[in-house]
A = this chain, B = another copy of it.
């Protein structure tokens, strides 16, 4: 470009810290992991709404906004699920760099995938929340009818039925959604953030 008499601010790039300062908060990722039907999305929505009411700036990544968009090209094979989680982690990392408090609600059953997510996002920004509910309870709810289909063999590699859920060994937070009510689960997370 031609030289200019105007003040030009070139060569300075806005940094994550600048964005956090402008937003008055730290970029973070609340990574909800647990079986289908364990209450991940319900709890993540509840936490997001509470944070929003506190004036925090948030974003929720889940199947609703990723499976038909960014990850619409991915199936449900083990490789595709690993790639799904990798992309979720990369997007969550970018959004945390933008200063947002990001909530992700995906089964993310494999320890290696969650470790990769943690590596991408970085400790201590990565907050792993194990949404723990017994399989029998998740299956008895079966809100989406997925467990019934999985039992009939209509869904291959379904977590808890035909594919393992590798429970987090050292989650940041361990929430027992079967034993605690929703408000208590939410408050446990909010207390940790505060």
Contacts and interface: CB of A to CB of B under 8 A. Distances in A.
B49 A12 contact: yes
A90 interface: yes
Contacts of A7: 183
B14 A97 contact: no
A145 interface: no
Contact of A99 (B57, B87, B93): B57
A8 to B, nearest CB: 5
Given A4-B183, A69-B94, A10 B42 contact: yes
Contacts of A58: 14, 19, 98
Interface of A: 1-4, 6-14, 18-19, 22-23, 39, 42, 45-46, 48-50, 52, 55, 57-61, 65, 69-70, 73, 83, 87, 90-91, 93-95, 97-100, 120, 177-185
Copies in the complex: 2
A69 to B, nearest CB: 5
Contact of A90 (B70, B100, B120, B178): B70
B182 A8 contact: yes
B59 A94 contact: yes
8 contacts: A2-B179, A7-B183, A19-B57, A23-B57, A65-B97, A69-B94, A69-B120, A91-B94
Given A48-B14, A57-B99, A59-B97, A1 B185 contact: yes
A182 B4 contact: yes
A98 B46 CA distance: 17
Contacts of A60: 13-14
A50 B7 CA distance: 11
B14 A49 contact: yes
Nearest to A61: B94
Contacts of A39: 1
Contacts of A93: 69
